[in-house]
Chain A
Amino acid sequence: MSVFITSAHHETLSVCRARIAHLLLFVFIGMVSLSSIIGWVTNITVTGVYEKILANGLTVAPNPFSAVPELYYARNAVIYVVLIGTLMAIVLGVQATLRDRKSATAGLILSRPVAVSARVGGQLAGLGVVIFAVLAISMAISWAGISIITGAPLGSDSTFRLLGFAGCAWMLLMVFAIIGMIAGITSKRETTALLVPFALWSGLAFVIPQLGTAARPVALLNPVPMPEQTGGYFDVLSAITGPLSITEHFKRAGSILLRDSNVSGSAGSSVAILLGFLVIAVVVVVLVPRQKLRQTLND
């Protein structure tokens, strides 16, 4: 138990001391916080556009933005988690396992009666604490920002929904942090350790969803998940790729929790898939062979 706690504490301390990690964390917190302001400014402008159209007598349709829920202003946070958050998690994961190999301390640590699962699990727990803290700060800023925009503190329902969204984001980020850790353990070069998880991220975020939805890569940067295509080969492919599109599942769960009217249904299945991915990833990383951790780097 002491190995687990010591490793977790050491990991948290290492991330706090790494300036480059701070850069990524600040970018993430900044963008998630900014998303409320961007949403608010856009909403004001779009309402103005609608009022102008109405005044010119060009439409009689009701204002599509008249009753937007208060969490509408946080909808862009979904995409910043997928874009910035996942890459931040990958870098943190890679650095966690690569640090020992670069400084050649892995051999020293493993010369003691230390269980690999306790060592790696502890590092993972440390990362979990850091990611939790980053999400907590981001959500607190979002909560305060939306409360200022709407002129009243967010109610308990919206607050719980925001917390649920943060929980889903934590699961997604932990999956990518573990992918980074595995790459840091198994790669022979530092470049490969960073690049392989990035390539995997692009596959999960762009290629797999495209196979089932025919959505273009840039269209997948929209916070709302793309609907699955039907007919022809899409019926077969979307059945196969659907469960693997982890970022689309996160977007779906996030949009439902943040009450985006463009997405309906229950977030349960998407949350279950995120949880499934997380459990599998945890099992894989704690079962990594001892010898792998002692491998030296080629550059």
Chain B
Amino acid sequence: MIDLITVAGKELLDLRRDRLFALLISFLTAVTLISVTVGAADFRNQLDAYNLYVANLTTSGSGVVPAAPHLFPLQLLRSGIEYLEILGALFAIVLGYGAIAKEKHRGMLQLFLTRPVNRFAFALGKVAGLSMIWWVVVVLLMGVSTISVVTIGGGAVTGTDLGRLGFVTVFIWMYLVFWSAVAVALTSLSASHSTALIVALVIWLGFVLVIPQIGDTMDPDNQVPGGLFAALNIQKPDEMAVLAHFSKFDSIRNVLEVSSVTKHFERLSFALLGIKDQYNQQPIPVVLTAMLPYAITLTAATVVAVVFAGAASTRRTLQRKQS
């Protein structure tokens, strides 16, 4: 246990001094701020268009005024969550890869393994160090996001909203630890550093970008801008009734989507932040109950990835040399 803590402590120290790490986190923070700013500007545009429309209606003497667009502050975080989905996972892979690759390259690993250390101390110590640093980063990132929603977005954040953000913080952390652990395992298993990184990137590409994109492409409602059913003026109950006849196709599409851990994370966080209309302004316990299967799978995937990292990092795999 002491070995594990020592490795984790060393990883924390390394990352604190690493300029690349600082660059990555600054980039993530910047894109989060940009996305809140753009979201807020987009909402103000909608509001201006609405006000203009109402003014024109009043001038023309019409008494029917449509409902004004309503700002739900946490919805401003949608793009930020999507950036974490894509870029957060990418950066988590890079950090996980770097944690093992640097020790292999510098020869520190050989020195470490001459000591009577626990079999799992190295890999799990690295994952523990990365987990701690990700926790700090995610908490800071959510803090910055919340402040930007209030100051830039002009939204009021309630205690319940903070509770929602708390749960989302935990799920983001699990998602990032999952990708770092996968990278740690692959780098331990591979004799060549660049091969490990490229294989991890191919997995990232497949699960984060390609599979969800295929799922979206196969959605019948995504075939026409604005949605097929909206274009044909079909009401929701009729839409459901029609789609029931295509359940096999929809099941294949759904299986594709849920085979990606990214979709589980996305559905969870979108539900909690009220981005998905169905869960907007619903009490937290109601949302969590509905999203329990996704919470379980995300947790299980993270645990499996950490176990994989521990199991893959044997003395033999870690010391494997490229032929």
Contacts and interface: CB of A to CB of B under 8 A. Distances in A.
B242 A52 contact: yes
Contacts of A232: 41, 44-45, 48
Cβ-closest 7 pairs across A and B: A214-B42, A217-B82, A299-B105, A59-B232, A46-B220, A216-B79, A218-B82
Given A23-B198, A42-B220, A95-B194, A195 B101 contact: no
A24 interface: yes
Contacts of A91: 198, 201
B243 A49 contact: yes
Contact of A199 (B27, B210, B242): B27
A79 B242 CA distance: 29
A168 interface: no
A228 interface: no
Contacts of A211: 34, 38
B94 A191 contact: yes
A23 B202 contact: yes
Given A216-B78, A234-B45, A299-B106, 7 more contacts: A42-B217, A46-B223, A58-B232, A64-B231, A217-B85, A218-B82, A229-B45
A78 to B, nearest CB: 11
Contact of B79 (A65, A80, A195, A217): A217
Interface string B221-253: 001110010011110001001110110010000
Contacts of A190: 193-194
A202 interface: yes
B83 A206 contact: yes
Interface of A: 19-20, 23-24, 27, 31, 38-39, 41-42, 45-46, 48-50, 52-53, 56, 58-59, 61, 64-65, 76, 79-80, 83-84, 87, 91, 95, 189-192, 194-195, 198-199, 202, 206-207, 210-211, 214, 216-218, 221-222, 224, 229, 231-234, 262, 299
Interface residues of B, number: 63
Contact of A45 (B24, B38, B205, B220): B220
Given A41-B218, A52-B245, A31 B101 contact: no
14 contacts: A42-B220, A45-B249, A50-B228, A56-B242, A59-B233, A64-B228, A191-B97, A195-B94, A207-B31, A211-B34, A216-B78, A216-B82, A218-B216, A224-B225
Which of B194, B202, B214 has the most C-beta atoms of chain A within 10 angstroms of its own C-beta? Answer: B194
What is the predominant secondary structure among interface residues of chain B facing chain A? helix
What is the predominant secondary structure among interface residues of chain A facing chain B? helix
Contacts of B98: 191
Interface string B193-211: 1110111011001100110
Nearest to A218: B82
A48 to B, nearest CB: 7
Contacts of B202: 23-24, 27
Contacts of A233: 41
A195 B246 CA distance: 42
Contact of A42 (B94, B209, B218): B218
B213 interface: yes
A191 B197 contact: yes
B87 interface: yes
B263 to A, nearest CB: 11
Contacts of A234: 41, 45
Contacts of B228: 46, 49-50, 64
A192 B38 contact: no
B102 interface: yes
B35 interface: yes
B189 interface: no
Interface string B303-315: 0000000000000
A13 to B, nearest CB: 18
